[in-house]
Chains A and B, each alone.
Chain A
Amino acid sequence: MTVEGGRTPLKPPTPLMTTTVGSFGKPEYLTKARGQHARGKLGATELEDLERKATAEWIRRQEDIGLDVLVDGEMYRGDMVAYFAERLEGFKLGGLVRSYGNRYYHKPVIAGKVQRPQPMTVSWFEYAQSLTTKPVKGMLTGPYTLLDWSYNEAYPTRRDAVLALAEVVRDEARDLERAGAKYIQIRALREDDLAHLLRGLCGDLPAGARPARRSAGPRDG
């Protein structure tokens, strides 16, 4: 870059960090493997090997691009709610509902008290972090999104349910922090609700602070 007058280009006083908010596309071999696994034609270990392979590829890709804070790409998640619902006590799988066109999925049901028997994302965080010297983000889904994408049969009100979900998200975030995560992203799709929740926890949000949004495509389960 040439700058008029021969001055050196302006540099920001602190480097502007770059990162991404979401999951990355799954490579074709993984999409195929997930389908085979769903039909009982591929074992869990074989599937996980491919998920680790795809994770490593995405970590390398992000390093090549030069991003500062990396994500694991969520190669092991079907969607941002079902992954957690499958690992939390109190959730069960509900009947088929349509997401779009001819695509259907089993929507999770909160059928009992929500509890987290063990960490849900820590081992994937540790694996992804072991592949790079750059910081990897912990990636969680917020309590309102967990609630809105599930049926609630167990808690008398939305407030009761969302606070129970907030506790398990908090515990997971603490475990990620203990495992060395410097950054933890909590993904939410409804800013109004999140602002409301955060206001209760830590006062008003600074102007311009917005939770990360993701517009995921419809899925077929």
Chain B
Amino acid sequence: MKTTVIGAYPKIGDELPAQELRRALHRHDRGEISDAELDKVYDEVTRSTIGEIEAAGVDVVNDGQIRWDDLLAPFARTWSGVEAGPLERFYDNNTYYRQPVITGPIVTDGKSLVRDYTFARGVAKAQLKAAVPGPLTFATLASRDDHFSSLEDRVLAIADATAREIRGLSDAGARMVDIEDPAVVASPRHIELAREAYSRLADAAHALALVTYFFPPDAVLESLASFPVAAIAIDVRSRDTTAFERLDAFRNKYVLLGVVDARNTRLETAEEVAGYAERALKLVPEDHLRLAPTTSLEYLPRDVARAKLTALVEGARLLTGEKVPA
């Protein structure tokens, strides 16, 4: 049973030696180190993060999004026609993001994440995937739009820009891209609009995963199955859900099952993890199931994040061990 991660990893730990990035950012703010020196620290922390995820035994890793201030930041920073606006709470978390402000037509060279992906590719020994913010989330979290006349126009323009970014990542060698789009489950009323947006992202060259989190997929589960993506990530752990009885809807897709709660410090046992997987295996073939945290592990202190990955991997191994005939 393969395992993967979702989204961002904690950038610092509780021990002082693990707070290098925090110190470097303070020093950068005070003008004591240059952009290049800060960049070097970002790279080193990215390197150690990938190493930490791999050491836990995760099969498909990412770069931990160490440079991202929030999910929307990498595109809000680089796209012309978009500015990073005021801070707002990110869904029901005590965590903040900058609301995008749309000021004009959205233009991108599609290379916003290429440098980071290329660096991570040089570091990772395991299979590496990339990630982008989802178009519905980006569009619905904008605080102001001075350009597009409707949410629909905004979502589709953001989808077109995102498609360019995915092609850019693809050219840099990415074969798997997570599209993190919590709005798809947070605002189920926009599900048809989201599907139209995803039809613009579809591309046979690489495997796209629609990654949902924070809320159970119950209201839209069957609709998600018709999205033109290779995989769907859902949280079946942190809230009550009927998803386990309905997973056959994803017949032709990979399912990334969120089984360790990335927003709670209580550690799952390997048995609990294996138990969730076994329930899913009643309706999902084994080669189409992957185990994952429910969302970004950055919502946890770093030592807990590491322990969660260990629980995830041990659960996956327990399951495989039980399945292998003696």
Contacts and interface: CB of A to CB of B under 8 A. Distances in A.
A95 B301 contact: yes
Interface in A85-113: 94-102, 104, 107, 109
A215 B88 contact: yes
Chain B at the A interface: mostly helix, strand, loop or mixed?
loop
A216 B95 CA distance: 10
A99 B95 CA distance: 4
A97 B92 contact: no
Given A97-B300, A98-B298, A151-B266, A189 B92 contact: yes
A217 B98 CA distance: 11
A100 B25 contact: no
Contacts of B87: 100, 217-218
Interface string B18-50: 000010011001000000000000000000000
A100 B12 contact: no
A153 B263 CA distance: 11
Chain B, interface size category, equals 20 to 34
Given A102-B22, A189-B89, A217-B87, A97 B96 contact: no
B271 interface: no
Contacts of A107: 94, 301
B92 A100 contact: no
Interface in B88-105: 88-89, 92-97
A100 B89 CA distance: 10
A215 B92 CA distance: 12
Given A96-B301, A97-B300, A148-B93, 13 more contacts: A95-B13, A95-B302, A95-B303, A96-B14, A97-B299, A98-B11, A101-B25, A102-B25, A107-B301, A148-B92, A149-B94, A151-B266, A153-B266
24 contacts: A94-B301, A95-B265, A95-B300, A96-B12, A96-B301, A97-B300, A98-B11, A99-B94, A100-B69, A100-B87, A100-B97, A101-B69, A102-B29, A104-B22, A148-B92, A148-B94, A151-B264, A151-B265, A189-B92, A190-B92, A215-B88, A215-B89, A216-B89, A218-B96
Closest A-B pairs by Cβ, 9 of them: A95-B301, A100-B96, A151-B265, A102-B25, A153-B266, A149-B94, A218-B96, A95-B14, A151-B264
Interface of A: 81, 94-102, 104, 107, 109, 148-149, 151-153, 158, 189-190, 215-218
